[in-house]
Amino acid sequence: MKSLLHALTVIAIGALYSSSAFAQADRPIPYPVFEPPQFASAVANGTRTASGEPGPNYWQNSADYVLNATINPADTTLTGEGTVTYYNNSPDDLAFLVLKLRQNVHAEGVPRNRFVAVTGGVDLARLTVAGQAMEEVTEGQPEAGQYRIQGTILTLALPGELESGDAVELGIQWSYIIAPHTGSFRQGQDGEVFYIGYWYPQMAVYDDVYGWHTEQYMGLGEHYMGYGNYDVRVTAPEGWLVYATGSLRNAEEVLTAQTLTRLAQASASDDVVHVVTESDRRAGISTLDSDNDLLTWRFVSENVRDVAIATSAKYLWDATRVMVDQDGRGGLEMVQINSFYRPGTASWERSAEFAAFSIEHLSELIMPYPWPHMTAVEGIIGGGMEFPMMTLIGGTRSDQSLFGVTYHELGHMWFPMIVGQNEKAFTWMDEGLTSFNTNEGVRDFFDGSADNRPQVNAWDRNRQSFYFLAGTGLAVEPMRHNDLFPLGGGTRQVDPIQNGARGVASYSTPAVLLHAIDGIYGRQRFLEAYRAYAQRWAYKHPYPYDLFNTFEDVLGEDMDWLWRPTLFETWTVDQGIASVEVSASGIQVTIADYGLAPMPAIVVATYSSGDTAELRVEASHWMTGTRSATLSFTGDDIVRIEIDPDDFTLDVDRSNNVWTDEQAVNSGN
């Protein structure tokens, strides 16, 4: 991202190719990417940089949560209490704090953009600051010592300012009805499985670009969350298996010797161990007995953005391990892989296998997985939903389907769990990067190397929904706030959220864009930029402009010609072979640019010997406004010429991308 003058400056094109008088109107030149003034101010303040790295003055606030939750399956309630210590690491003195009460999406009268069950929302019984009770008000702006709840947002006016560098402790007590899965999404219960998400009052993000993020949770969009440390105790009936984000710190107080022995076996083996079988699912066999029929499980986690809980009396428990170089120094650490599912659920006997491959593959593709476990949980939803160290997966699955959704949801451990992107405002950063990774994982797992790994071309354009909407007028730009997407449109109207314009813009478009960068710049350079972005912004809060700047910094060029048409607009690429002139000295190929989005034309000639030669028309050529370019290949034994034979560059119409020597014979050349 550079100045407008720089973006429109054209570097002279060398003798490799030249413009021809192709009879087309001048092509439009995309605007450069302009950073919003708030981001530009952050760069000026030194919290961010024009090179995409966090600035020397970068800061972010954090919190420590000590929480106790009791889950009562009989009346489907959760009651909770605890403390939140909030650290103001910003340079600003804060007169008020903002908390998110996301379960209020189930309250009467709150704004929503999808159907949910109305179960009453959060009953907040107590809110204190440094031990002093705060007063709730229902109208107007809260004054010092007061708070107001509006939808899913709680605004707390502090008794005194929280000065820069100081901390404050909040005391909270609350309860809510756990919504049924038929009127919930991403979390809830079906009477057998209780998956507990967004269950506690959580501090909103206060960042260096916009300050407090006070957007309502309306159901469709996901979240922007800060990092914190969590010490969580979960009380549930004996015989119910419980797992959550974090390390289980009191396993010997809740699990039997048999279960602990099998877990130890799983920790020492690459094989999948059946930790709890169908016949084990009761107190005294899988979990300990308790005098009051309840057990309390303690989970501790550091530097994570959220905590989720799963519990059921119906679950089987499979476990295995993967070994990961978590600190990057060559020493391998054990990551426990867990799979919880009900007997007879199709393909779930392979869940732990799929999860283990995913964690290993993603650790090699991007950066090492940093946490002590990764747990896949079956039930209640139709798709998948990620939480730190945990994922919920439902629906009827084949092996390929379960692998794909497992890899995708585990891929979210990198984006946005490690790299803390704002997926509410910029969904494409979360879903698009993860969709790119998923295609890479599907390709490498289903490589045809075994009977249970058939050959799958993960990047086949028939698998990429981008191509179903591109150029139809129904697509929308990815750089759109998640709450502002249309809910319909598209050629696959099974579920408008997943298969309409929102799904294409957020999942597929950025995935194929990254695939294009991979092809244009080459695998090594692409991975260098991709990994640099992840490493620079691990456990921090990047904006899209930080991603753009990082790629441009590492790859060494302004890439606004790529970001603007694909992410801010819905411009499409359409290149074709306009003409071929064959002579004794070689072939001249005229490439026509019929589309709106500039893209390098990668042109490959194949000789009768099978050898190939590649020439390119760079994006800078199209940025002059011309519609054509001519390339010259030497030799008189060329049998095939093709634009982008590996299908990287988003061309919406490949019907004119190939020329063969048979065409030359038939035309009399």
pLDDT in tens, 112-148: 988 899 999 999 999 999 999 999 999 999 999 999 9
Residues in the chain: 669
Locus of tokens 């107001």: 148
Locus of tokens 């100081």: 166
pLDDT tens across 426-440, in order?
A: 999 999 999 999 999
Read off the tokens for 191: 């009477």
Task: Identify the band that residue 580 occupies on the pLDDT scale cut at 50, 70 and 90.
Answer: very high
Which one is the CATH code of 4-30+571-667: 3.40.109, 2.40.160, 2.60.40, 2.30.42? Answer: 2.60.40
Whether 413 and 362 have beta carbons less than 8 Å apart is answered as yes
Whole-number Å distance between alpha carbons of 472 and 474:
5
Whether 374 and 351 have beta carbons less than 8 Å apart is answered as no
Rounded average pLDDT over 278-292:
97
Q: Higher model confidence: residue 27 or residue 299? A: 299
pLDDT tens across 234-271, in order?
A: 999 999 999 999 999 999 999 999 999 999 999 999 99
pLDDT tens across 328-343, in order?
A: 788 899 999 999 999 9
Q: What is the dihedral of CA 617, 619, 624, 626, to 10 degrees?
A: 50
Whole-number Å distance between alpha carbons of 28 and 625:
6
User: Omega into 416 within 30° of 0, i.e. cis?
Assistant: yes
Supply the pLDDT for residue 664: 62
pLDDT tens across 607-617, in order?
A: 999 999 999 99
Q: Which residues of 95-109 are buried (b: 16+ CB within 10 A; e: fewer)?
A: ebbbbbbbbbbbbee
Rounded average pLDDT over 222-234:
97
CB-count exposure of residue 353 (10 Å: 0-12, 13-18, 19+): buried
Whether 272 and 352 have beta carbons less than 8 Å apart is answered as yes
Supply the pLDDT for residue 451: 85
Supply the pLDDT for residue 425: 97
For strand 333-341 and strand 373-378, is the pairing parallel, antiparallel, or unpaired?
Answer: parallel
Supply the pLDDT for residue 210: 98
Task: Identify the band that residue 487 occupies on the pLDDT scale cut at 50, 70 and 90.
Answer: low
Q: Higher model confidence: residue 182 or residue 367? A: 367
Does position 184 have pLDDT exceeding 50, yes or no? yes
Supply the pLDDT for residue 494: 37
Whole-number Å distance between alpha carbons of 265 and 275:
9
Same fold, 4-30+571-667 and 62-322+336-352: yes
Whole-number Å distance between alpha carbons of 277 and 250:
22
pTM, rounded to two decimals: 0.94
Supply the pLDDT for residue 380: 95
Return the half-sphere exposure (C-beta side, CA atoms, 13 A cut-off) of residue 415. Answer: 33
Which one is the CATH code of 62-322+336-352: 3.20.20.70, 3.40.50.2300, 3.90.1150.10, 2.60.40.1730? Answer: 2.60.40.1730
Task: Identify the band that residue 667 occupies on the pLDDT scale cut at 50, 70 and 90.
Answer: low
Which residues fall within 8 angstroms of residue 166, CB to CB, at 6 or more apart?
A: 88
Instruction: Annotate 154-197 with DSSP letters as a single string.
Output: EEEEEEEEE-TT-EEEEEEEEEEEPPBGGG-SSSEE-SSEEEE-
Closest to 353 (Cα-Cα) out of 286, 403, 311:
403
Whether 106 and 179 have beta carbons less than 8 Å apart is answered as yes
Does position 477 have pLDDT exceeding 50, yes or no? yes
Domain residue ranges in the chain: 4-30+571-667, 37-56+449-568, 62-322+336-352
Residue 184 has phi, psi (to 5 degrees) of -135, -175
Sign of CA dihedral 34, 38, 43, 49: negative
Task: Identify the band that residue 663 occupies on the pLDDT scale cut at 50, 70 and 90.
Answer: confident
Average pLDDT of the chain, as a whole number:
93
Task: Identify the band that residue 178 occupies on the pLDDT scale cut at 50, 70 and 90.
Answer: very high
Task: Identify the band that residue 567 occupies on the pLDDT scale cut at 50, 70 and 90.
Answer: very high
Instruction: Annotate 41-67 with DSSP letters as a single string.
Output: HHHHTTSB-TTSSBPTT----EEEEEE
Closest to 305 (Cα-Cα) out of 538, 42, 39:
538
- The enclosing H or E element of 295 equals strand 294-304
Supply the pLDDT for residue 255: 98
Locus of tokens 């995935």: 511
Read off the tokens for 433: 């990067």
Read off the tokens for 525: 């350079």
- The enclosing H or E element of 633 equals strand 628-634
Supply the pLDDT for residue 489: 38
Tell me which of 298-302, 357-361, 489-493, 552-556 is least confident: 489-493
Locus of tokens 């939140």: 84
Supply the pLDDT for residue 183: 85
Supply the pLDDT for residue 7: 32
**Which ranges in 537-668 belong to alpha helices (H)?**
544-555, 560-563, 619-622, 661-667
Supply the pLDDT for residue 48: 98
CB-count exposure of residue 190 (10 Å: 0-12, 13-18, 19+): middle
Does position 217 have pLDDT exceeding 60, yes or no? yes
Whether 354 and 289 have beta carbons less than 8 Å apart is answered as no
Read off the tokens for 225: 């969350």
pLDDT tens across 401-452, in order?
A: 999 999 999 999 999 999 999 999 999 999 999 999 999 999 999 999 988 8
